[in-house]
Amino acid sequence: MNMTNAAIAEKGVGALDVKISSKGVDVYYADNHAIKNVSLDVLDHTVTAFIGPSGCGKSTFLRCLNRMNDTIDICRVTGDILLDGDDIYAKSVDPVQLRAKVGIVFQKPNPFPKSIYDNVAYGPKIHGLVADKADLDEVVEKSLRRAAIWNEVKDRLDSPGTGLSGGQQQRLCIARAIATAPQVLLMDEPCSALDPIATAQIEELIDELRSNYSVVIVTHSMQQAARVSQKTAFFHLGEVVEYGDTNTLFTNPEDKRTQDYITGRFG
Amino acid sequence: MLSFAVLMIFASSLVFFIAGRAKAVQSVNGAYATLHSRPSYHGMYSSLWALLVGMLLLLVVSVVWSNLNDRVLMGAVLDAAPDISKIDAELVLSDAKSIAQGNIASKTDALRSTLAQQASAIEGQRLWGSVIISILGALFAGLLTNRQIDRDFRARNRSEKLVTGVLMVCAIIAILTTIGIVLSLIFETLRFFNQIEWQWWKFLFGTTWSPLSGVHDGVLDADKVGAAPLFVGTFMITIIAMIVAVPIGLFAAIYLSDFASPRVRLWAKPMLEILAGIPTVVYGFFAAITVAPYIRGFGESIGLSVASESALAAGVVMGIMIIPFISSLSDDVINAVPQSLRDGSYGLGATKAETIRQVVLPAALPGIVSAILLGVSRAVGETMIVVMAAGQGANLTANPLEAVTTVTVQIVMLITGDTEASTAAGPAFTLGFTLFCVTLGLNVIALKVVRKYREQYD
Ligand SMILES: Nc1ncnc2c1ncn2[C@@H]1O[C@H](COP(=O)(O)OP(=O)(O)OP(=O)(O)O)[C@@H](O)[C@H]1O
Ligand SMILES: [Mg+2]
């Protein structure tokens, strides 16, 4: 792992491979034009942050990246989104396989009405990632540990996941997502219900995930974006106003609107 | 006449509403804010009282008075013909009433005509009396409450209490009716068991069902009231019905909620619900005339002997009848599973089938179980289809190709048969009570199951 980290550091952010590339993406909810002509490349081994005021389309764009918008009848996506160079909206692509590669943690925690254990074991089981029960136990424990919730639930793995507190549910959903070992992890405000300690632990997890995966995170906290991400995109009214290195964007924004937003002059 | 009274009571109640409201406004010279309750509450309080008192008086007075009248007339009959039998006296009385109302009586004679005159006289008194009393009562109640209105009068709290009271009375009526029915079932059942000298096991486990064979000698033969064949028949038909209804209903529900396009759903769901609206008689003759002969023909073609009335035919058709209950209810509960759960599963790369089997169905399970148990109680209590298609002979068999009979069929036979109702009532009520216990048990189990899963899931 240290090797990889060193390799990343050597290569520098700019030299990394493009993992997901989007060109001219438009999204409509019936007549509502929610995403307008967005082109944006998500790099491998990088944490990309989406920031922007509420309702500007961050979640919508995030959901496009693993075709979760397919489940919304009125939603229409145009433009190209490529994962490792292949169009994910092509007819031949099976969204099921795509989502196994591009995992997502939703804005609202949605644990299944199953035990905590079964919630985490769900993904590995359906994808046949584990050989036996012992393997599964290990994956579940590891995922829960990495999502910083193991200590809270280790004595009640059999009790329902829906019985946890909001913040615990959020971490359970993170554990559930990383248990399937996706190549890209999309996280929609993963820390919105967490206390500072749990937030710090999740940020640590995100940083650690970077060594193997590409992570996209939506957040309303500038500090969080600045802490965990290498790239930041600022969304405003369905457009990407500015996209670039996090450091540059926060210290030296090109656009007036970005500057106003990060300095808190509008929301 | 009575409708005139009802109208008047409503009118006065309306008047008191307006008057009460006006008085409340007047009492504070238009400064509403200083009123304890809004003016319409004052109006409502007064008008509710007028309405309640008026209606109650109308009901009570006219019923009581009518009883009194009957007594007076009966007295007159007995005076005129002291040694008349009770039944004849009642006949005379009802004839006299018919004549008084201008209808045709079974017979006319002097006694009946004089009685008729008397009847129409006191009937007129009764009508006028109850109308006047009830309208006066309404006015009195309205005026009395209207006088109470002033700034500090707690009209809102009082009228809310009044409404609560009315609602409670309605609830109590429903509950009392239930209790009454259950009690009458229990008493008739006890009477029946008393007649067979408390050999209840002969009823539950006996295999010969011919309860009326001894009625001419006025005895119930405890050896001939074995209802086991009925229970077995009911059970078998229910099982067949559920084998048909549960898979089809459930799969239809899954298709409708998760696979059908909105357009298909739009017409498919009402179609299914129409199936639920078909009267069971129609299913009954469908079973008897179409399905049963077909099954028999098919059975014979492969060398099986099938009775023309078979448990299979009745069960299959009953299953078809139950499909919409199960599919419609299950569809509702499956739809109620939040989209976010499905999204969660899809987001982990699950297929639609995996999502439905492992996330949606478990989440909807309590509702599905109760839908199924509801279907079972319908199957157990269903009458028309089995009367027509399952047969009447009480033979104990486990072969679905033979004719069987069910509890409900035998109740129908007992009550609609030639035997006097009071004699046939014992076995019929006892069967009814057994049925009631089974259905109650099923409902209790359904509730338990639902609660257990609730605890696990919420
Ligand atoms: N399921 C939907 N159906 C219709 N319109 C939707 C749906 N989801 C989002 N929208 C619309 O798309 C626009 C963008 O919404 P989106 O959820 O992407 O915002 P967001 O940036 O994630 O906001 P927040 O920070 O509050 O989560 C909004 O105008 C919203 O009304
Ligand atoms: Mg959002």
Lowest-pLDDT choice from A56-65, A227-236, B312-321, B393-402: B393-402
Ligand at minimal distance from the CA of A34 is 1
Looking from the CA of residue A107, the nearest atom of ligand 1 is 27
Residues of A whose CB is below 8 A from B343: 68, 71, 106, 110
Q: How much is the pLDDT for B455?
A: 54
Residues B220, B242 within the same domain: no
User: Whole-number mean pLDDT of chain B?
Assistant: 89
Mean pLDDT of A187-191: 94
**Residue A43 lies inside a defined structural domain of this protein:** yes
Residues B203, B325 within the same domain: no
Taking CA–CA distances from B341, the nearest residue in chain A reads A110
**Residue B191 lies inside a defined structural domain of this protein:** no
Distance CA A219, CA A62 (A): 12
Residues B438, B291 within the same domain: yes
Residues B315, B383 within the same domain: yes
Residues B141, B261 within the same domain: no
Q: How much is the pLDDT for A1?
A: 39
- Per the structure, the count of domains in chain A is 1
Q: How much is the pLDDT for B308?
A: 82
**Residue A37 lies inside a defined structural domain of this protein:** yes
Distance CA A100, CA B256 (A): 27
Q: Is B456's pLDDT higher than 70?
A: no
State pLDDT tens for residues A216-262.
999 999 999 999 999 999 999 999 999 999 999 999 999 999 999 98
The phi and psi torsions of A122 (rounded to 5 degrees) equal -55, -55
Residue whose Cα lies nearest atom 11 of ligand 1: it is A34
Distance CA A47, CA A37 (A): 22
Contact B258, B352 (CB under 8 A): yes
Ligand at minimal distance from the CA of B340 is 1
**Residue B271 lies inside a defined structural domain of this protein:** yes
Residues B134, B217 within the same domain: no
Q: How much is the pLDDT for B91?
A: 84
The residue to mutate among A26, A28, A59, having the most atoms of ligand 1 within 8 angstroms of its beta carbon, is A59
**Residue A221 lies inside a defined structural domain of this protein:** yes
Contact B153, B36 (CB under 8 A): yes
Ligand at minimal distance from the CA of A240 is 1
Tokens describing residue B452: 């257990």
Residues B337, B215 within the same domain: no
Residues of A whose CB is below 8 A from B344: 106, 110-112, 173, 176
Domain that holds residue A24: 18-262
Residues B324, B434 within the same domain: yes
How far does chain B reach from its first CA to its final CA, in angstroms? 58
Q: In this structure, what is the dihedral angle of CA atoms A23, A26, A27, A30, given to the nearest 10 degrees?
A: -160
Q: Cβ separation of B346 and A73 shorter than 8 Å? A: no
Mean pLDDT of B384-402: 86
Instruction: Bin B303: left if φ > 0, else alpha if -120 < ψ < 50, else beta.
Output: left
**Residue A5 lies inside a defined structural domain of this protein:** no
Q: How much is the pLDDT for B245?
A: 96
The residue to mutate among A28, A32, A50, having the most atoms of ligand 1 within 8 angstroms of its beta carbon, is A32
**Residue B396 lies inside a defined structural domain of this protein:** yes
Residue B265 sits in a domain of what CATH number?
Answer: 1.10.3720.10
Q: In this structure, what is the dihedral angle of CA atoms B265, B266, B267, B271, given to the nearest 10 degrees?
A: 70
Residue to test with chain B: of A83, A97, A112, most B Cβ within 10 A: A112
ipTM of predicted complex = 0.89
Residue whose Cα lies nearest atom 4 of ligand 1: it is A29
Q: How much is the pLDDT for A38?
A: 94
Compute, in angstroms, the gap from residue A58 CA to the centroid of ligand 2: 6
State pLDDT tens for residues A107-128.
999 999 899 999 999 999 999 9
CA dihedral sign, ordered B127, B131, B134, B136: negative
Tokens describing residue A263: 């300095």
**Residue B17 lies inside a defined structural domain of this protein:** yes
Residue with more model confidence, B92 or A16:
B92
Residues B321, B398 within the same domain: yes
Distance CA A49, CA A30 (A): 27
Domain that holds residue B212: 196-224
Q: Is B113's pLDDT higher than 80?
A: yes
Q: How much is the pLDDT for A15?
A: 59
Residue A147 sits in a domain of what CATH number?
Answer: 3.40.50.300
Compute, in angstroms, the gap from residue A47 CA to the centroid of ligand 2: 18
Residues B116, B209 within the same domain: no
Residues B204, B276 within the same domain: no
Mean pLDDT of B286-313: 88
- Per the structure, the count of domains in chain B is 3
pTM of the complete model: 0.77
Residue to test with chain A: of B337, B348, B365, B456, most A Cβ within 10 A: B348
Distances (CA, A) of A254 to A221, A243, A262, A267: 20, 10, 12, 18
Q: How much is the pLDDT for B9?
A: 94
Distance CA B335, CA B252 (A): 13
Residue to test with chain B: of A63, A99, A129, A183, most B Cβ within 10 A: A99
Interface of A with B (CB under 8 A): 66, 68, 71, 73, 95-101, 103-104, 106, 108, 110-114, 122-123, 126-127, 160, 162-163, 173, 176-177, 180, 182
- Whether A32 lines ligand 1, by a CB cut-off of 6 Å, is yes
State pLDDT tens for residues B204-229.
898 888 888 776 666 778 888 889 99
**Kind of pairing between the strands at A231-236 and A214-218:** unpaired
Residues B246, B200 within the same domain: no
**Residue A9 lies inside a defined structural domain of this protein:** no
Q: Is B352's pLDDT higher than 90?
A: yes
Q: In this structure, what is the dihedral angle of CA atoms B410, B414, B418, B422, given to the nearest 10 degrees?
A: 180
- Whether A56 lines ligand 1, by a CB cut-off of 6 Å, is yes
- CA B349 to chain A, closest CA, distance in angstroms equals 4
- The H-assigned helical ranges of B302-420 are 311-336, 339-347, 352-355, 361-381, 384-389, 407-416
The string of DSSP codes covering B343-358 is HHHHHTT--HHHHIII
Residue with more model confidence, B37 or A11:
B37
Compute, in angstroms, the gap from residue A190 CA to the centroid of ligand 2: 11
**Residue A11 lies inside a defined structural domain of this protein:** no
Q: Kindly indicate the confidence band of residue A13, based on its pLDDT and cuts at 50, 70 and 90.
A: very low
Compute, in angstroms, the gap from residue A184 CA to the centroid of ligand 1: 22
